[in-house]
Amino acid sequence: MTGPNRVLFDAPGPRARRRIRLATALSVLVIAGLIALGVHQLARHGQLDHARWQPFGQWPYQRFLLQGLVRTLKAAGMAALLALPAGALLALGRLSPHRVLRLAAGGFVELFRSVPLLLVLYVFLMGIPRAGYTFPVFWELVIPVVLCTSALLAEIFRAGVLALDRGQSEAGYALGMRRRQVMWLVVLPQAVRLVVPTLVSQLVSLLKDTTLGYVVSYPELLNQGKVLGSYTHDFLQSYLSVTAIYIVVNAVLSQLAEALERRGKRRPKAGAAGTGPGLPGPRTPESVGVEALRTT
């Protein structure tokens, strides 16, 4: 509720207040009606029966799902661990003065940004084994996720580097630093701090990507949900539980990203330490117009 949103309706007078109250009551009624309709639909087909939900209150079933969650986190963690440095290196490659390196990194990033993750996954699942290489299931899931995510992360890192005030690297050069020193000692530390919130929110979509374990039969959360669903014959309940777990875990991650963003805003901004009062502050990655967020 910032910006013009507040201006769209100014302090309402008595008549407008009455209208708003009426609309509020009406919308509550409509929302309640929709919820009731949904519950009725579920109840009519016996989906709310105690017997159907009862297994999900028992520890063995919960443990089964939690094991899936642990594997999801493991795959996501490993993918993040590999994709973060890979993304940073790709970004450096795209910004490098060497033409060959720049073209190679650029080609990699553009290719993996415009191809669906599932396609890369099928290549690893069906294409590469034909050539005689087989991976364990864990890596069949993790490697494609790393390939696609590192391309996205590279764009985020690059946006961070480009968003940094030019004066920073100029100051570095003025001190007699070499290109590499400027990059590693001046630009990168500040650029990374600038993009941390975006990186964390990208981790949410990485965690979502691991659901493709469902396709390669890696027993992560969604796959465990499928197994549990076919065991209890209650697919709806099983998938609803799985969805709820995903929402909780990702909401926690999103909150973390927002907290980091707030903290970044409260502190003197990264890179602003050297800028005088009359100079423009650092630009944000968004203001540079690089939108790297594509999600599956």
Using the CB atoms, write b or e for 169-205: b if 16+ within 10 Å.
Answer: beebeeeebeeeebbeebbbebbbbbbbbbbbbbbbb
Of the residues 63, 231, 243, 259, which one makes contact with other proteins according to CB under 8 A = 243
Task: List the x/- string, 140-179, binding to other proteins by CB under 8 A.
Answer: ----------------------------------------
Taking CB under 8 A as the rule, does residue 265 contact other proteins? no
Residue closer to other proteins by CB (options 186, 222) is 222
Residue 175 or 287 having the CB closest to other proteins: 287
Is position 134 an interface residue for other proteins (rule: CB under 8 A)? Answer: no
100 sits near other proteins (criterion: CB under 8 A): no
CB of 204 to other proteins, least distance (A): 7
Print the binding letters for residues 188-227 with other proteins: x by CB under 8 A, - otherwise.
Answer: ----------------x--xxx-xx-xx------x--xx-
The residue behind tokens 């570095």 is: 172
Q: How many CB atoms lie within 10 A of CB 237?
A: 21
CB neighbours of residue 84 within 10 Å: 20
155 close to 199: Cβ distance less than 8 angstroms: no
Q: Which stretch binds other proteins (CB under 8 A): 26-34, 160-168, 172-180, 262-270?
A: 26-34
d(CA 80, CA 178): 31
Using CB under 8 A as the binding rule, whether residue 98 contacts other proteins is answered as no
- Round to whole Å and give the CA distance between 14 and 122: 62
Residue 55 C-beta: closest distance to other proteins, Å: 15
Separation of alpha carbons 229 and 239, rounded Å? 7
Q: Which residues contact 65 (CB under 8 A, 6 or more apart)?
A: 221, 224, 225, 228, 241, 242, 245
If one asks whether residue 45 binds other proteins (CB under 8 A), the answer comes out as yes
Residue indicated by tokens 């415009």? 114
Amino acid at 164: L
293 binds other proteins (CB under 8 A): yes
Least distance in Å: CB of 36 to other proteins?
Answer: 15
Q: Does 62 bind other proteins (CB under 8 A)?
A: no
Between the CA of residue 144 and those of 26, 72, 188, 224, what are the distances in Å? 49, 15, 26, 21
CA distance 145 to 82: 10
Of 56, 74, 101, 113, which one interacts with other proteins (CB under 8 A)?
113
**By CB under 8 A, is residue 295 in contact with other proteins?**
yes
The SS3 call for residue 295 is coil
Question: Rg of the Cα trace of the chain?
Answer: 25
Interface residues toward other proteins, by CB under 8 A: 1-5, 7-10, 12, 20, 23-24, 27-28, 31, 41-42, 44-45, 47, 111, 113-119, 122-123, 126-127, 130, 204, 207-209, 211-212, 214-215, 222, 225-226, 229, 234-236, 238-240, 242-243, 246-247, 250-251, 254, 289, 291, 293-296
